[in-house]
Homo-oligomer: A and B are copies of this chain.
Amino acid sequence: MRIGVFDSGIGGLTVLRALREAVPGHDLLYLGDTARIPYGTRSPITVVRYSLRVASYLVDEGVEALVVACNTATAHALPALRQAADTLGIPVFGVVEPGVNAALAARRGGAIAVLGTPGTITAGSYQRAIAARDPSIPVFAVPCPMFVPLVEEGWTDGQVPLLIAETYLGALRGKADVAILGCTHYPLLVSTLAEVLPGTVLVDSARATAAAVLEALGPGDGAGTVEYRVTDNVERFREVGSRFLGYAPDPVSWVDIGPASPPFIEP
């Protein structure tokens, strides 16, 4: 089966990497919408428009399942994407539910922390998903705006990331059983985060999402090809992508997916 993996840019590569391990027999087509990055600071209606455009492109390219490897797109656009894909019988996986399920499984009766970009924390999708399962669970939702630029610069170890992580998360130490890494970039900071939050289980949404895909679609029985497409700047994707994958993404090509639909749909 050909699975489309969609992110606003590069972060979704942590999900792709987890998928390669979990479902090695499926073909993966990764689309990084780098021409419109970052989704995180855009308005929800814009994120829905962009996400529908990407999904439409991937469906035209023949994908039979869609993984939304982007927290912002999952938070704002998952219902719209599922509604559109359902009519085609295409399953759509987001990163929020699997992360929440993994956190609930790892919890030992205490609080759950959600670490994310300001956009993800404000959108509140992790908080709502936890409350829907058990509204009595205490949730600490912590925006960590500097983590994405740190990871994209490859600055994941040492004094600076440690000081920034301590500033955001020091007050949380000893107070949460589990912390959901609610941004696809954060798994690269795991050693720093483990130092700041000793005794807290760190849940990697990327791995949790890959596990959900394996459960639904099986490991696949094909050759397991991987292809990368971006809507801008192939070189930067190769360079920064190498930090996420541990090897250079290849082959990468530039594609024009066309403009998104207008912002307001006439009645």
Contact = CB atoms under 8 A, between A and B. Distances in A.
Interface of A: 34-38, 41-43, 46, 145-146, 148-150, 152-153, 155, 159-160, 163-164, 167, 232-233, 236, 256, 259, 262-263
Nearest to A147: B149
Contacts of A153: 145-146
Contacts of A42: 35, 232-233
A109 B9 CA distance: 45
Contacts of A167: 160
Nearest to A43: B233
A262 B146 CA distance: 34
A150 B146 contact: yes
Contact of A35 (B46, B145, B155): B46
A233 B41 contact: yes
* Closest 10 A/B residue pairs (Cβ): A149-B149, A43-B233, A145-B153, A259-B259, A42-B232, A41-B236, A160-B163, A46-B232, A146-B149, A160-B164
Given A232-B43, A256-B263, A159 B163 contact: yes
Contacts of A159: 163
A74 to B, nearest CB: 19
A256 B263 CA distance: 9
Contacts of A37: 38, 41
A42 B254 CA distance: 12
A232 B164 CA distance: 29
Max count, chain B CB within 10 A of own CB: residue among A35, A148, A150, A167: A35
A240 to B, nearest CB: 9
A234 B262 CA distance: 18
A195 to B, nearest CB: 17
A236 B122 CA distance: 12
Contacts of A164: 160
A153 B144 CA distance: 10
26 contacts: A34-B41, A35-B42, A35-B46, A36-B36, A37-B41, A38-B38, A41-B233, A41-B236, A42-B232, A42-B233, A43-B232, A43-B233, A145-B149, A145-B153, A146-B149, A146-B150, A146-B153, A148-B149, A159-B163, A160-B160, A160-B163, A160-B167, A163-B163, A256-B262, A256-B263, A259-B259
